[in-house]
Amino acid sequence: MKESNIQKKKRARSILRILGHTHPNAKIALCYSNAWELLVAVILSAQCTDKKVNEVTAKLFKKYKTLNDYARAKKREFERDIYQTGFYRAKAKNIIRTARLVKEKFGGRVPKAMNEILTLPGIARKSANVILGNAYGVVEGIAVDTHVFRLSGRLGLTERADPKKIEKDLMKLFPKKDWFRSTYTIIDHGRAICTARDPRCDLCPLAKLCPSAFKFPRFKFIAKK
């Protein structure tokens, strides 16, 4: 029997409540000291782990201390500085161009509005949600990263494959006051339990609420004992 919208919304809120208890200190893992550094870290995090980004930015933020330093950066040198994050040519180009645009068009401040921040090179809606929420407390949606993408499907909260459509589905299920924290509780759960390759359904506090629970080899093996 297909789940009604009311039932799905009730289940989604139960999921969020449980994750809130399981991961009470969930927050962004990237290290930064201001909105601009957060923007740089977010661009670098594409197809790269937060741990590696933090290793790279620990040196990067000491070398490039102001927005002007980034705007004046030499592309080849900057590429070497961020090489370990992967896709370094595109990332270097976007960061330098964005620094110049923020300086010239936005008076040296990372914009606070969604429509404005989306005009910056290398910033799509997921990144915009992360930056706006963490830097300014401006919450206009839910950041759909790889963990949120994976878990929202496994948990049966959406049948979509497009991040923008997934975000819209989740925004309908979760109260707006929970949009910001939902991202990080789901991410922490994705890292700790519901991993991409080896989900631990046997340890998952959401098992009774998850239509995908008990489908993975590890759980089946344990259940037979």
Average pLDDT, the chain: 94
CB count within 10 Å of CB 155 equals 20
Residues with a catalytic annotation lie at 126, 145
217 pLDDT band, cuts 50/70/90, is: low
pLDDT tens figures, 14-59: 999 999 999 999 999 999 999 999 999 999 999 999 999 999 999 9
| Digit-coded pLDDT (tens) for 60-108 | 999 999 999 999 999 999 999 999 999 999 999 999 999 999 999 999 9
- What pLDDT does residue 225 have? 32
Say yes or no to pLDDT of 128 above 80. yes
Q: Give the mean model confidence (pLDDT) for residues 165-179.
A: 97
